[in-house]
A = this chain, B = another copy of it.
């Protein structure tokens, strides 16, 4: 049955420990309920082989944790981001690079403004939001999730094209 789901934001803050550390019991005061944000994390953490991420700004610590979990599981994680914001205060790009995640960035005056991810070459998540806490908690935003082959192939191809274009070598 085809996967097609749209997540809308903002959402109230909930605890995401059940998603990031399912083996532990969490007793923090936040609600331990599902939300569009936990749905997003579940989709990303489902990656078994590869995660390609193309995102303008990335400052969400929870999403960085999710990528590091995948990286430690030997999922191939590749990130493309915008050169104008990757060194901004709170950016997670530096910490991800230090942890060994492969990151490339544009070098142009125009923005690398995409906000999409491809999971295992079979699912695409694309939408309006950058990976910032403000986007998830304060803005009106959307993420479309689909496994439609035509759509997934188009985004995967665009990722590979940009990955080569931004090769620093």
Contact = CB atoms under 8 A, between A and B. Distances in A.
A45 interface: no
A111 B126 contact: no
Contacts of A77: none
Contact of A142 (B8, B111, B146, B155): B155
Interface stretch (A14-22, A68-76, A112-120): A112-120
Contact of A115 (B10, B110, B128, B154): B128
A97 interface: no
A139 interface: yes
A145 to B, nearest CB: 10
A166 B72 CA distance: 45
A144 interface: yes
Contacts of A10: 110
A108 B155 CA distance: 33
Contacts of A155: 6, 142
A148 interface: yes
Contacts of A114: 128, 140-142
Contact of A151 (B4, B113, B158): B4
B6 A154 contact: yes
A138 interface: yes
Interface in A9-43: 10
Interface of A: 4, 6, 8, 10, 54, 56, 106, 108-116, 126-129, 134-135, 137-142, 144, 146, 148, 150-151, 154-155, 158, 162
